Structure 1
């Protein structure tokens, strides 16, 4: 089944399986692929974001369950607050799942990590829709689920073009300048390996 994703500017991607089958103006793709499912989104289509703080967010932070909000709050716990928690494999696994979902909700499709030391974290990331990628050393800035809030230059995954991996995001903004100003919290949809892995409700 081929799906065409289009933004408010009429830019579109035709996705088949995990790959981009075609790219171009919406009208051209609809004509070239009759019968394709069409999804139109508010805002702009971009390559997915890369969060450079993979280690810090995935294995050096605990992302509380909403049911723990009264006791632990809603922000990731690090340092002494993390050290005070009893972290078993089940808790790490759940934390990674929540972290990944929050990254996807910010248009992130890749997390840059040095070697992950925690086996449970490593396996949970491998099972997720978020792709890992290597990095050397700490990237600087402040770890944040929104890469625009980290205080370092924002990096995107590879450009979306024909025969490339279908990993992209849609942000409800007019253009890239407004995205940089308002941040990745404006994400309305994230696609990874051709699957819609996040959609704002």
Structure 2
């Protein structure tokens, strides 16, 4: 089914921003991008398409450079554990305490929740490797639909990694998986902010929707 994702501003990265007048739009056919341009032009070209309207800014999906650390050196609490452990990822001594008594199902649950939280931050690509010696981790990443990309690794950041790919201070061009191009895979993120400066200031926690290979995998309530 062909879908048009419309927002006030579309930043394709590597091309001119689209957002004058009625805003910008990305048409998605299956798992591929069919068009990027002003909403009026895209909607006229695909009059039968379903239209999803989003607030703010539409960009390519983001890349999480510290996915391995977030999934293997961090515990993502189950909501049922919130009274005891809170809702934020646990690092360092707290993680070591939990890991010492963690069985395989509990570890797998933490990984799944970590991946879901990445999706809620507009992430569509994760830096590996997730090797053959870690089949459960590799399977979880594959089932979540996130795309594994190869190193080189980024410089190691001090302290715990962050679910927000912008936490290291990079701009949009250095944080997305790649530009939005016609014929390319439809990996998109939408943020309830007016422009890139506001996105970098507020972070990827402002994500309201993530589209992975044309599928809406996260939508803020």
Q: Does 1:43 align with 2:59?
A: no
Correspondence list, 1:109-148, <5 A: 109-116=124-131, 117-137=133-153, 139-141=155-157, 142-148=160-166
Correspondence list, 1:5-154, <5 A: 5-8=5-8, 9=19, 10-85=23-98, 86-116=101-131, 117-137=133-153, 139-141=155-157, 142-151=160-169, 154=174
Distance in 1 (alpha carbons) for counterparts of 2:168 and 2:93: 21
Q: 2:202 aligns with which of 164, 170, 182?
A: 182
Confirm or deny: 8 A CA contact 1:42 1:172 kept in the other structure. yes
1:93 shift after superposition:
1.8
Secondary structure at the aligned position of 1:13 is classed as strand
Distance in 1 (alpha carbons) for counterparts of 2:170 and 2:208: 23
Confirm or deny: 8 A CA contact 2:65 2:153 kept in the other structure. no
The gaps in structure 2 that reach 5 residues or longer are 9-18
1:152 shift after superposition:
5.4
Confirm or deny: 8 A CA contact 2:130 2:137 kept in the other structure. no
Moved more, 38-47 or 122-131: 122-131
1:36 shift after superposition:
0.5
Distance in 1 (alpha carbons) for counterparts of 2:37 and 2:200: 24
Partner of 1:195: 215
1:25 shift after superposition:
1.0
1:31 shift after superposition:
0.9
Correspondence list, 1:145-164, <5 A: 145-151=163-169, 154-164=174-184
Normalised TM-score (structure 1): 0.93
Distance in 1 (alpha carbons) for counterparts of 2:154 and 2:200: 23
1:114 shift after superposition:
3.2
1:183 shift after superposition:
0.8
1:132 shift after superposition:
1.7
Partner of 2:12: none
The gaps in structure 1 that reach 5 residues or longer are none
Classify 1:151/1:118 alpha carbon distance in 2 versus 1 (closer, same or farther; 3 Å): farther
Confirm or deny: 8 A CA contact 2:129 2:148 kept in the other structure. no
1:151 shift after superposition:
4.7
Distance in 1 (alpha carbons) for counterparts of 2:41 and 2:115: 35
Count of residues in Structure 1 that have an aligned counterpart in Structure 2: 201
1:44 shift after superposition:
1.0
